[in-house]
Copies of this chain bind each other. A is one copy, B any other.
Amino acid sequence: MSKRQILLLSSSKVHGYEFLEYASQDINDLLSRNNVSSVLFVPYALSNHDEYVKRVEKPFKQWGYKVVGIHTQEHPVQAVNQAKAIFVGGGNTFRLLKKLYDLDLVKAIRKRVLEDGIPYIGASAGTNVATRSINTTNDMPIVYPPSFDALKLVPFNINPHYLDLDPDSKHKGETREERILQYQEEEDAFTVLGLREGSTLYVEGNSAILKGIHRARLFEKNKDPVEIDVGSDLSYLLKE
């Protein structure tokens, strides 16, 4: 049985809240339970790494945790191997995943989380890369990663920033639901959990629960999408 402890946020920003504020209780519970004092932060989804670390340091320092940007470390794989907790921030999912492959971090992070059980926290792009594949990111494909396969910390996909149809919109581009259903027309498509901003998935070993402040929407292949309330047990999605 996997030792994983994974907190996947739809987004770091939610309307009406400060950066990471809506998830502060869940983040703190996870880190304090593991006696973590320092968090390895992965800022690769944005181009300005130093600035990103500063933004993340603000709430984490306030909560009592040190933040180390992985880009400041000479040996990133070694930094992962020694990390006591990892936070992967949002930005562009393609850029993030490509960098994880380029630096040989995919296997290293996977091992630390699944085998060694260190806490993994992801937000937006950091949530996308934690899943089976990045096939259901909303981001623009600004760089070409060697694969869309991701960290596979969970055996399904997530669509972060899940967005309902705006009935007043005159825009003719596909709705989010249409895009996810298009994905699931593909033969090898996985289940997709649409996490609305403010929605969070917590996975511990073989148990998964929806947390946060907003409902999620679940897309299982060949089934009608269903609404998932906060507090719902989603452990059955972890079966491979």
A residues sitting closer than 8 Å to B (CB atoms) are 11, 13-15, 47, 91-92, 94-95, 134-144, 147-148, 161, 163, 170-174, 179-180, 182-183, 185-186, 189, 197
Residue of B nearest to A93 (CB): B141
In the bound complex, do residue A147 and residue B144 qualify as a contact, i.e. CB atoms below 8 Å apart? yes
Known A171-B163, A171-B197, A197-B172: A143·B186 in contact at CB below 8 Å: yes
Known A161-B173, A173-B11, A197-B171: A47·B140 in contact at CB below 8 Å: no
Return chain B residues, CB-CB under 8 Å to A144. Answer: 147-148
Known A11-B172, A144-B148, A172-B197: A139·B179 in contact at CB below 8 Å: yes
Partner of A137, one of B11, B140, B170, B189: B140
How many copies make up the complex?
2
How many Å lie between the Cα of A51 and that of B141 in the bound state?
29
How many Å lie between the Cα of A163 and that of B134 in the bound state?
24
Residue of B nearest to A15 (CB): B170
In the bound complex, do residue A137 and residue B141 qualify as a contact, i.e. CB atoms below 8 Å apart? yes
Return chain B residues, CB-CB under 8 Å to A173. Answer: 11, 138, 161, 163, 197
